[in-house]
Amino acid sequence: MRATVLVRPKEGILDPQGQAVESSLRQLGFPVDDARVGRVIDLEIDAKDADAARAEVELMCERLLANPLIESYEIDVGDDA
Amino acid sequence: MRATVLVRPKEGILDPQGQAVESSLRQLGFPVDDARVGRVIDLEIDAKDADAARAEVELMCERLLANPLIESYEIDVGDDA
């Protein structure tokens, strides 16, 4: 089963990569007010159904994929995720 | 207007970060068959409507946000994007 995880820097947490992107886009002339950069992780996992897959991915986020102190995550599960 | 861009390594392109994530997840005992890692970029831009915003973000992707040789991108525009 496919699952997609979006990991983003939390509100208020410094995001140097986002700042660099914002400043580069502005230098190119784009009307950008803010940019934040995070990660998208696409997973293919063995799970009997979507609920089991989501629970599994939630654990993966807590243990490896995200740093809960400074990042938030969002999980999307499904064959078309 | 808010826009979200997902930038992913193209099919068939080597993704060392994804391989590292996959192998770490397996070592932790998770039943993972595949993992690919890309970037999520959240933008706040000045644009008169969603179509204008999408066109603008498309240009940003071509010029800065993605490397079209090895990455594909997906744009989502809207206040709730």
Between A35, A40, A46, which is nearest B43 by CB?
A35
Tell me the C-alpha distance between B22 and B10, whole Å: 17
Q: Within an 8 Å CB–CB cutoff, is residue B41 touching chain A?
A: yes
Instruction: Give A14-40 pLDDT, tens digit per residue.
Output: 999 999 999 999 999 999 999 999 999
pLDDT at B81: 44
- Which structural domains are found in chain A, ordered by start? 2-77 (3.30.1280.10)
The count of other CB atoms within 10 Å of the CB of residue A77 is 23
* B71-77 and A2-9 strand pairing: unpaired
Tell me the C-alpha distance between A7 and A16, whole Å: 15
Instruction: Give A40-74 pLDDT, tens digit per residue.
Output: 999 999 999 999 999 999 999 999 999 999 999 99
Selection from A22, A27, A18, A34 nearest residue A70 by Cα: A18
pLDDT at B78: 83
pLDDT at A7: 98
Taking 50 as the pLDDT cut, the residues of chain B under it are 81
The count of other CB atoms within 10 Å of the CB of residue A21 is 22
Band the pLDDT of A78: cuts 50, 70, 90: confident
Residues 11..30 of A with a Cβ closer than 8 Å to B: which?
Answer: 18, 21, 24-25, 28, 30
Band the pLDDT of A79: cuts 50, 70, 90: low
